[in-house]
Amino acid sequence: MTDPTGTTDTTTTVDERKGVSRRRLFGAVGAGAALAGAGALVGRATAAEPPFSHADVVAFRGEHQAGVVTPAQDRMHFVAFDVTTKSREELEALLKKWTVMAERMTAGEEATPDGAIGDGLYVPPSDTGEALGLAASQLTLTIGFGPSLFDDRFGFASKKPAALEELPHFRADNLDPARSGGDIAIQACANDPQVAVHAIRNLARVAFGTASVRWSQLGFGRTSSTSTTQDTPRNLFGFKDGTNNIKAEETDVVDENVWVAYGDDQPWMAGGTYLVARRIRMLIEQWDRTVLGEQERVIGRSKGSGAPLSGKAEFDELDLDSKKGHDPVIDVDAHVRLASAQELGGIQILRRGYNFTDGSDGFGHLDAGLFFIAYCRNPQEQFVPMQLNLSRNDAMNEYIQHVGSALFVCPPGLAEGQYWGQGLFT
């Protein structure tokens, strides 16, 4: 974001103070970006603009929302809101305001035209300022609506998609209501965490009186690759994660499994998707006491290379039929077997989770785990059967506990002039 009064220019004009010129630059980048479709990277800012080290801008508008198949950024801040107003008009006004702010921030601008200092001394600044001088950092902001938003408060009942049913209870779920649910979710992903936190904070701030933060989660490192251009990162069990994920480049697989098609359900959400969030505590002390062979049996892959136990290299296909004597090489309870398309009649989801650590648990351990995010075209037909299978049989269950859960429907991307959630109001 622009730093209107950098330390070097002590003789700035008012226009420079407001950073107008740099903002114009960004405006242009944003416009070009829109042509490429939301989620597309539109190149780095020029090297002549000094503080812009993570300067990639991801287009905000397009057929689909950004932040789904966009190559997973390194850091995340996720927030779920409760809507506190009963007024449909106030909610609509907030969504309009959010859209304008979100588009600006993803372009590397301040949340508002006047920003942190441009309004003058006599009003509260309209941007909180901590991202001044920081680049866009591939910030994406992705919105979703929870089942509770479609109750009788706002007249959205007739707009509710059939697949937006609350998730069932899964075996061993130990969900904290204070970390579950929510009327509206916003996922902020960026390569600079300060940019992601700044975005959520400014959106939360203008919601005052209309919506309030129900829960939020910081993810310090991505645990998934969502593009063939990315390395596979590691989760806190030390295993590569995202190897057999859907990749953005597989557009047919994405269309089949991620984006809601016309005719699937409510017309307003064609081109949208569903977001499932699960806060999964990892019992890392138990895991760390387990021998390597057992860890690899539980996952079904080799820890070093990430190769399936039935293969040699990371991207070798799972061979679920491969045997060593009478025993399957990939265990019957191995995580990758139970979650695989082969086992589940072709079901696939797009995973986009983040590692977290939130202090300690009061028992001498770190409170660490995986903030699991999945996108899919129909959660009832994809996430639910997959998680039913995992919750019943997964050998990994000894080492994890699901402690938070939420489901949201994500509307499609926006054309010029449209605002977040417009389909609900028209």
Restricted to residues 384-423, the positions that interact with a copy of itself (CB under 8 A) are: none
- 3 state DSSP class of 363: coil
Q: Which of residues 236-255 bind a copy of itself (CB under 8 A)?
A: 236-239
From the list 84, 105, 94, the residue with the least C-alpha distance to 425 is 94
Distance from C-alpha of 94 to C-alpha of 320, rounded to nearest angstrom: 50
Please give the residues from 362 up to 401 whose contact with ligand HEM meets the rule CB under 6 A.
370, 372, 383, 386-387, 390, 400
Q: Which of 98/239 has CB closer to ligand HEM?
A: 239
Q: How far is the CB of 153 from a copy of itself (least distance, A)?
A: 17
The label of the residue with tokens 């916003």 reads 186
Query: What are the DSSP E strand ranges found in 84-170?
Result: 140-145
Q: Going residue by residue from 65 to 94, which x/- string records binding to a copy of itself, judged by CB under 8 A?
A: ----------x-x-x--x-x----------
x/- site string to a copy of itself, residues 189 to 228, per CB under 8 A?
A: ---xxx--x--xx--xx--x---xxxxxxx-xx-------
CB of 299 to ligand HEM, least distance (A): 5
Q: Which is nearer to a copy of itself, 264 or 367 (CB)?
A: 367
Which range, of 123-131, 270-278, 338-346, 417-425, touches a copy of itself by CB under 8 A?
Answer: 123-131
Least distance in angstroms from the C-beta of 370 to ligand HEM: 4
- Residue ranges in 250-289 that form contacts with ligand HEM under rule CB under 6 A: 278, 280, 282
The rounded distance, in Å, linking the Cα atoms of 117 and 19 is 10
In the complex, least distance from residue 424 CB atom to a copy of itself, rounded to whole angstroms: 23
Decide which of ligand HEM, a copy of itself, none touches 312; Cβ closer than 5 to 8 Å per partner kind.
Answer: a copy of itself
Triad 150, 151, 155: Cα angle to 5°: 70
Output the CA–CA distances (angstroms, integers) from residue 360 to 12, 176, 235, in the order listed: 47, 17, 18
Task: DSSP for 44-88, please give it.
Answer: PPPTTSTT-TT---B-S-SSS-TTSSSPPPSEEEEEEEEE----H
- 252: phi then psi, degrees, rounded to nearest 5: -65, -45
CA distance 96 to 25: 24
Tell me which of 47, 262, 289, 416 binds a copy of itself, using CB under 8 A: 289
SS3 category, 234? strand
* CB atoms inside a 10 Å sphere around CB 366: 14
Contact status: 133 vs a copy of itself (CB under 8 A): yes
Residue 183 binds ligand HEM (CB under 6 A): no
Alpha-carbon span 338 to 204, nearest angstrom: 39
Binding track, positions 311-350, relative to ligand HEM; x by CB under 6 A: -------x----------------xx--xxx-------x-
The footprint of ligand HEM (CB under 6 A) covers: 235, 237, 239-245, 278, 280, 282, 299, 301, 318, 335-336, 339-341, 349, 370, 372, 383, 386-387, 390, 400
